[in-house]
């Protein structure tokens, strides 16, 4: 009886609390309804402060990007398509072999046949410019991270945040700080694509064997010589893997950058989505796929070139041309020497 009575009183007490203080209990179980951190307001205030105080600095950043991008794009659009394809074939054959050269030319030819040649040149210019700046910035940072554990510990969480943050988040502050167009699109592509080359450059230098470095020290090499003649050559394959990943991320971001008025293949996809034009979106999508496959295979081949046993001047078009030049020079020089000998003898006899 006592137990039943206690249970009854407990139930009555709980019901009374629920009846009188239902709102309090609900707030206790879900405190996030009342207590929130205004992170969105803080972010907006930070961007506004940067815009008001450092906008000239961010506008100054546009200059080298704009100059490089304009020159690369003008060159690619100036070169006739057939000359571009022929040059691509020779370069790809020399770097990656005949099969990949044929595939690259076929892929670019298909891009031209579906009517996406001009947008593809714009996208290539943006990606090449972004990759160039990523290499110029990322390689020194990766080397610094490999040489300083403190800097590596500092930059690692920054790279983690950069690689996990959704790509669309980068667009809003870039638009407010720099503006819209192809230059801000290139800037946001650089920011989005730079983490892999920093990480893998750091990894490439750190994974070089300590015994190799000690041997270089023993032979009197300076730190600069050890870096450029030992660590970077031995870690070049890993560094090129970072370049490959950076290139792929740059191509992906250049597509999303069409949302801030960046021309190229991504703009075809965006217009196709906006107009519900499946054909236009398909043209842009197929162009992006073909371009991505071509660039990916070429950069992978460059990274694997150091593992080949055949020297660069013994393969590809250079391997075909050099023996012919040597043969022609050898025989023509012997002919010229014979002619010179005959002329000198005739002159001596005549005198």
- The distance from CA 253 to its chain's CA centroid, rounded to whole angstroms, is 9
What does the DSSP 8-state code read for residue 116?
A: -
Contact call for residues 263 and 122 (beta carbons, < 8 A):
yes
Cβ-proximal residues to 227 (8 Å cutoff; 6+ apart), any chain? 143, 205
Tokens matching residue 139 = 């390689």
All structural domains of the chain with their residue ranges: 53-314
Rounded mean pLDDT of 225-252? 89
Three-class secondary structure assignment of 236-267 = HHHHHHHHHHHHHHHHHHHHHHHHHCCCCHHH
Longest CA–CA separation in the chain, Å: 149
- The distance from CA 209 to its chain's CA centroid, rounded to whole angstroms, is 28
Phi, psi (degrees; rounded to nearest 5) at 314: -115, 10
Does the structure show a pLDDT above 60 at 22? Answer: no
Please tell me the distance from the alpha carbon of residue 221 to that of residue 230, in angstroms, as a whole number.
Answer: 10
**For position 53, what pLDDT does the model report?**
82
Does the structure show a pLDDT above 90 at 142? Answer: yes
The SS3 of residue 302 is: helix
Got the DSSP string for 163-229?
Answer: HHS-GGGGHHHHHHHT-SSHHHHHHHHHHHHSHHHHHHHHHHHHTS-HHHHHHHHHTT--HHHHIII
**Short-list 196, 193, 199, 225, CA closest to 212:** 225
The overall average pLDDT reported for the chain is 82
Burial class (CB in 10 A: 0-12, 13-18, 19+), 75: exposed
**For position 110, what pLDDT does the model report?**
94
Burial class (CB in 10 A: 0-12, 13-18, 19+), 53: exposed
Tokens matching residue 133 = 């700046």
Report how far apart the first and last C-alpha atoms of the chain are (Å, whole number): 149
- Top mean pLDDT of 44-53, 156-165, 216-225 is at 156-165
Reported as a pLDDT band with limits 50, 70 and 90, residue 135 is very high
Model pTM? 0.80
Rounded mean pLDDT of 213-221? 85
pLDDT one-digit tens code per residue, 157-201 = 999 988 888 888 888 888 888 888 889 899 999 999 999 999 999
The SS3 of residue 53 is: helix
Reported as a pLDDT band with limits 50, 70 and 90, residue 5 is low
Reported as a pLDDT band with limits 50, 70 and 90, residue 9 is low
- Homologous superfamily (CATH) of 53-314 is MetI-like (1.10.3720.10)
**For position 172, what pLDDT does the model report?**
82
**For position 216, what pLDDT does the model report?**
85
Rounded mean pLDDT of 37-66? 83
Provide, rounded to the nearest whole percent, the portion of the chain with pLDDT above 90.
37
CA distances from 270 to 17, 202, 267, 273 (A): 57, 37, 5, 5
Contact call for residues 101 and 93 (beta carbons, < 8 A):
yes
Does the structure show a pLDDT above 70 at 108? Answer: yes
Rounded mean pLDDT of 48-67? 84
- Top mean pLDDT of 22-31, 189-198, 319-328 is at 189-198
């Amino acid at each position: 009886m006592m137990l039943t009575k206690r249970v009854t009183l407990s139930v009555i007490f709980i019901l009374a609390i629920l009846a009188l203080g239902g709102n309090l209990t609900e707030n206790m179980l879900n405190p996030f309804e009342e207590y929130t951190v205004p992170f969105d307001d803080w972010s907006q205030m930070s961007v506004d402060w940067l815009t008001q105080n450092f906008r000239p600095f961010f506008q100054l950043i546009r200059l080298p990007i704009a100059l490089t991008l304009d020159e690369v794009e003008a060159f690619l659009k100036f070169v006739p398509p057939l000359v571009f394809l022929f040059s691509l074939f020779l370069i790809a054959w020399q770097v990656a072999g005949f099969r990949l050269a044929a595939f690259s030319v076929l892929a670019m030819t298909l891009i031209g046949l579906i009517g996406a040649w001009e947008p593809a040149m714009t996208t290539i210019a943006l990606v090449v410019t972004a990759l160039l700046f990523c290499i110029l910035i990322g390689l020194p940072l990766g080397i610094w991270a490999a040489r300083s554990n403190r800097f590596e510990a500092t930059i690692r969480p920054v790279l983690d945040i950069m690689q996990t943050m959704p790509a669309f988040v980068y667009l809003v502050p870039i638009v407010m700080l720099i503006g819209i167009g192809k230059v801000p699109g290139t800037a946001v592509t650089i920011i989005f694509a730079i983490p892999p080359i920093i990480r893998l450059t750091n990894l490439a230098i750190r994974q070089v064997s300590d015994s190799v470095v000690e041997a270089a020290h023993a032979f009197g090499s300076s730190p600069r010589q050890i870096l450029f003649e030992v660590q970077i050559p031995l870690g070049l394959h890993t560094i090129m893997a970072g370049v490959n990943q950076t290139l792929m991320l740059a191509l992906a971001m250049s597509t999303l950058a069409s949302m801030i008025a960046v021309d190229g293949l991504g703009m075809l996809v965006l217009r196709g989505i906006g107009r519900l034009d499946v054909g236009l979106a398909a043209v842009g999508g197929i162009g992006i796929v073909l371009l991505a496959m071509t660039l990916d295979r070429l950069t992978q081949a460059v990274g694997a070139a150091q593992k080949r046993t055949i020297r660069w001047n013994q393969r590809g078009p250079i391997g075909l041309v050099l023996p012919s030049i040597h043969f022609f020079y050898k025989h023509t020089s012997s002919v010229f020497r014979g002619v010179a000998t005959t002329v000198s003898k005739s002159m001596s006899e005549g005198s």
